[in-house]
A = this chain, B = another copy of it.
Amino acid sequence: MLEITRRDTEESQSGAARVFTFFRDRLLSGDLKAGDRLLAERELALALSVSRPVLREALRSLAMLGLLDIQHGRGAFVRAADASVLGQALTLCLAPEPNILDDVLQARIAIECQAIRLACERASERDLQAIAATLDTLVGSLDDPERGGESDYAFHLAIVRASGSASLMKIYEAISPLLMRSHVERRRDTFREPAITSGLVDAHRQVFLALAKRDPDAAETSLRDHFTIGDELRRRNLISAYQPKRKNS
């Protein structure tokens, strides 16, 4: 009699995997919403007719995937879907690839170029204002490398957000950890000079203006130019760093 339980869940898998898919499907279907609290482990184990260790394996797996928030002494809560896990998974997936820190820039360009095209169509006034605000912050933090980098990121993120595409947004968030690492690594090769930073502001301003005019082609072009210039700048700095010093000590 009891063995029939296997059939009624229609899962050939057993134990933890069964419980895992059980919850995953509930999450996908929306039966479980963010913030919901699960039953206590002991009750849950009883309800699903598995032992507590088995249940815990499944719960822990869900927690590692970021779907659950398990709090000692309080209980387990359903967590809002979070891109941070996506980022981790992507990092793990891409880890064995060589030069991944350079390569991930291609994904960034891909996302942003499409995002800005969409933003030209869809961006609301508030979206544009938000982007403009990050631009102001950028101008105001030119001499601080730390804050400068942050506001730079904020500018680009605001564009992606203005696209109104959840997919682009999530993927952009997913690659952002790698982007950060890439940025940090690159900073070692990059020197911030006044000439460079002013050019940076101009480039951003140009991108914004094209977006505000809602001209997709111009916006994408200026964005691509921005990336290309950054790329060349980096290359030039790299070369000069390896060249024998001539003037300065």
Shortest beta-carbon distance from A99 to chain B in Å: 9
Interface SS of A by simple majority: helix
The yes or no answer to A238 lying at the interface (CB within 8 A) is no
Chain A interface bracket (under 10, 10 to 19, 20 to 34, 35 or more)? 35 or more
Give the number of copies in the complex: 2
Shortest beta-carbon distance from A85 to chain B in Å: 6
Q: Which residues of B lie under 8 Å from residue A82 when comparing CB positions?
A: 93
Interface string of A91-129 (1 = CB under 8 A from B): 111111100100110110111011100100000000000
Chain B: which residue is nearest A112 at the CB level? B110
The answer, among B104, B107, B114, for a CB contact under 8 Å with A113, is B114
Report 28 cross-chain contacts, Cβ distance below 8 Å, ordered by A residue.
A28-B91, A28-B95, A30-B96, A34-B96, A57-B60, A60-B61, A61-B63, A65-B89, A81-B94, A82-B93, A83-B93, A86-B86, A86-B89, A86-B90, A90-B174, A94-B166, A94-B170, A97-B166, A103-B165, A104-B167, A106-B168, A107-B114, A107-B168, A107-B171, A110-B111, A110-B113, A110-B115, A113-B113
Interfacial residues, chain A to chain B (CB-CB below 8 A): 16, 20, 24, 27-28, 30, 34, 53, 56-58, 60-61, 63-65, 67, 81-83, 85-86, 89-97, 100, 103-104, 106-107, 109-111, 113-115, 118, 163, 165-168, 170-171, 174-175
